[in-house]
Amino acid sequence: MSSGQLQQAVSTRFEVLPLNDTAALVDHLPAGTTVTVTASPRRGLEPTLELSGRLQSAGYRAVPHIAARSVSSTGHLVDVLDQLTAHRISEVFVVGGDSTAPAGPFPDALSLLRAAEELGRLPERIGITGYPEPHALIPDDSTVQAMAQKSRYAHYIVSQMCFSAETITNWVTAVRQRGIQLPIYLGMPGVVDMRKLMRIALRIGLGESTRYLRKQHGILSKLVNRYSADDLLAQLYPFANDPANGIAGWHFFTFNEVARTADWFQEFTTRHGEVSA
């Protein structure tokens, strides 16, 4: 498929960090846009829930990340679910979280989902994480098994940040071969300065991104010089727009470069011929 024939995937999501100025940063996005809000092991879930509530009230579709390891008890889980109800938030993205030790009885996303089910309080729509590359803390066999177990609760999967189109497409193919047919959002960095990415990751304790950058020898300087969001998106577009692959759309890790990422994506789709899916 030539670049002129590329078609837009179903939908686009923008992931943001719950910092003090984040609500102002998303003003660039049209009402109704899906904005997901990360959870930090250092700051806990409260900033995530508070910002999600503000975004939902402002007309966005807010999707808070609920990190299982940050939930200290069943009572805390009930409080989190109550806050979701109060904010009229019906969708969550459930992750294990990057805390070294769980704050309570939920060491992973699966245990939290089971607890919510026992409470009769499963959210209306649930997303879970997929790992195109090996997780820094969890063996591959465990992530594969966990996805299969979590998939009964989930409505979609979001792939973790990855800089290789080949790695992403091979992973999607493997997921489908294992019989998991949930829609997948392809996760990729937006238009982000890599040095800023590293600074924010270290400040907020965003473990997966930080671990990825740290474990690669010289990767930061290489990415600064070589990584191109345009190239990665162009490589993934034909795959994303093949219905056989079950791709729901794009999940951009903006690291709060929301306006730059949104403008870049709009310009990209204009150049390549945006077509409604």
Q: How far apart are CA 126 and CA 223, in angstroms?
A: 32
Q: What is the pLDDT of residue 276?
A: 35
Q: What is the pLDDT of residue 5?
A: 39
Q: What is the pLDDT of residue 131?
A: 87
Q: What is the pLDDT of residue 31?
A: 94
Q: What is the pLDDT of residue 132?
A: 87
Q: How far apart are CA 24 and CA 82, in angstroms?
A: 26
Backbone angles phi, psi at 218, to 5 degrees: 70, 15
Alpha-carbon separation of residue 56 from 126, 185, 238, 251 (angstroms):
17, 21, 33, 18
How much is the mean pLDDT over the chain? 84
Residue 213 — very low, low, confident or very high, per pLDDT cuts 50/70/90?
A: low
Choice among 107-116, 147-156, 183-192, 198-207 with the minimum mean pLDDT: 198-207
Q: What is the mean pLDDT of residues 64-91?
A: 98
Per-residue pLDDT of 99-156, as tens digits, reads 889 999 999 999 999 999 999 999 999 999 998 876 555 545 566 788 989 999 999 9
Q: What is the pLDDT of residue 199?
A: 65
User: Does position 96 have pLDDT exceeding 60, yes or no?
Assistant: yes
Strand spans (E) along 45-114: 61-67, 91-95
Q: How far apart are CA 140 and CA 132, in angstroms?
A: 10
Residue 193 — very low, low, confident or very high, per pLDDT cuts 50/70/90?
A: confident
Domain 11-272, CATH number (from 3.40.50.300, 2.60.40.10, 3.20.20.220, 3.30.930.10): 3.20.20.220
User: Does position 4 have pLDDT exceeding 50, yes or no?
Assistant: no
Q: What is the mean pLDDT of residues 222-247?
A: 82
> Which amino acid is present at 80?
V
Residue 271 — very low, low, confident or very high, per pLDDT cuts 50/70/90?
A: confident
**pTM assigned to the model:** 0.86
Q: How far apart are CA 129 and CA 40, in angstroms?
A: 16
Domain boundaries of the chain, sorted by first residue: 11-272
Per-residue pLDDT of 7-62, as tens digits, reads 444 599 999 999 888 889 999 899 999 999 999 888 899 999 999 999 999 999 99
User: Does position 211 have pLDDT exceeding 80, yes or no?
Assistant: no
6 Ramachandran zone, left/alpha/beta (phi>0; psi -120 to 50): beta
Q: How far apart are CA 99 and CA 191, in angstroms?
A: 27
